[in-house]
Amino acid sequence: MNAKPESMKAIIIEDENLVAQKLVVKIKAVADDIDVVEILPSLKTARKWFMQNAEPDLIFMDVQLSDGVSFELFEIYKLSCPVIFTTAYDEYAVRAFKVNGIDYLLKPIDENELKNAIEKCRKLVSAPGKTLVNIQQLMSAFQNPQNGSIYKEKFVVNFRNSWMPIKTSDIAFFMRENLNYLFTFSGEKYILDYDSLEEIEELLDPKTFWRANRRYIINVDSIQSVKPQENQKLTVLLKQPLKVEVDVSREKAPAFKKWIDR
């Protein structure tokens, strides 16, 4: 008689609660020895969780979360446990995730595929020393035009006691002033629930957005003109109706010129 597999602790990183709950049920159906200890609905909550908890035996991870792309976590934390990605991408795009032992499940999740993925992860857990994650390959997979962008397409803001999505392409600039704000090209201003501009910057396409200084991240399409100053600094004037002047330091000026001169 086969011995019962050793119990495994798992977490689920998924921003759709109903999807996460259904996944818990399916995991229990195919592997009752797996204990889902936490469901994390965003990158922000996942980052906090990993700071306060030991690494689990297994992670089920959605690819595109409401506040960014999930494999950003591997750039912050040196995780060695196996990961099963869950994604709504079509099968052609998903093939890129089968890298260094990482498996994937295409939504809606099939129980047989889930069972096979878990068995694969059991083998990886029992083979210490194997590299499980190759971030560069994952990044390359997402940068393939057929697979869509790795950068954030919308930001959710609070507006009149409701949530409202703002397309990133409609954002003229981000500003830090005690809180973080975004401004649209039409001049509307919204508060963002992010801790810092650095956190926001990581979610943006650097071809489109530039961190001008400590207070501003600007969209290249929002620029009306750039005025050099005597001290080699630059003053960037944003288009109407924004009426905003943004300073670029002498040190950053050469890189800024290259950025806009493309």
The residues, any chain, with a CB within 8 Å of residue 109's CB and separated by 6 or more, are: 22, 23, 26, 86
Relative to beta strand 234-238, strand 223-228 is antiparallel
Same domain, 218 and 133: no
192 and 90 together in one domain: no
Count of Cβ atoms closer than 10 Å to residue 262 Cβ: 6
Which two tokens mark 213?
């200084």
User: CA nearest 247: which of 202, 210, 192?
Assistant: 210
What's 116's domain CATH number? 3.40.50.2300
The torsion angles phi and psi of 205, rounded to 5 degrees, stand at: -75, 115
Based on the fold, state whether residues 128 and 202 are members of the same structural domain. Answer: no
Question: Within 10 A of 130 (CB to CB), how many other CB atoms are there?
Answer: 13
Domain assignment of residue 21, given as a range: 8-144
Domain check: are 21 and 123 in the same one?
yes
**Residues 15 and 137 placed together within one structural domain of the fold:** yes
The residue from 144, 176, 202 where one domain ends is 144
pLDDT at 198: 87
pLDDT at 151: 79
| In a domain? residue 154 | no
152 in any annotated domain: no
Percent of the chain with pLDDT over 70: 82
- The predicted-structure confidence for 117-150, as pLDDT tens digits, reads as follows 888 888 776 765 554 555 555 555 555 544 455 6
Task: Verify that 70 and 177 share a domain, yes or no.
Answer: no
What residue type is 208 in one-letter code? T
Strands (E), 88-129: 103-106
Give yes or no: residues 38 and 122 share one domain: yes
Together in a domain, 175 and 100:
no
Residue 255 maps to which CATH number? 2.40.50.1020
Per-10-residue mean pLDDT for the chain, 262 residues long? 69 92 94 94 90 90 81 77 78 51 77 89 67 55 52 85 89 95 95 88 89 95 94 93 92 89 77
Q: Is 155 domain-assigned?
A: no
The reply to whether 136 and 220 lie within a common domain is no
Decide: 102 and 83 in contact? Cβ < 8 Å. yes
Indicate if the alpha-carbon torsion angle 144, 149, 150, 151 is positive or negative.
positive
Q: Shortest CA distance to 216 belongs to which of 229, 232, 197?
A: 197
The total domain count for the chain is 2
> pTM for this one?
0.54
In a shared domain, residues 97 and 224: no
Does residue 136 sit in the same domain as residue 177?
Answer: no
List the one residue out of 198, 217, 204 whose CA is nearest residue 256.
217
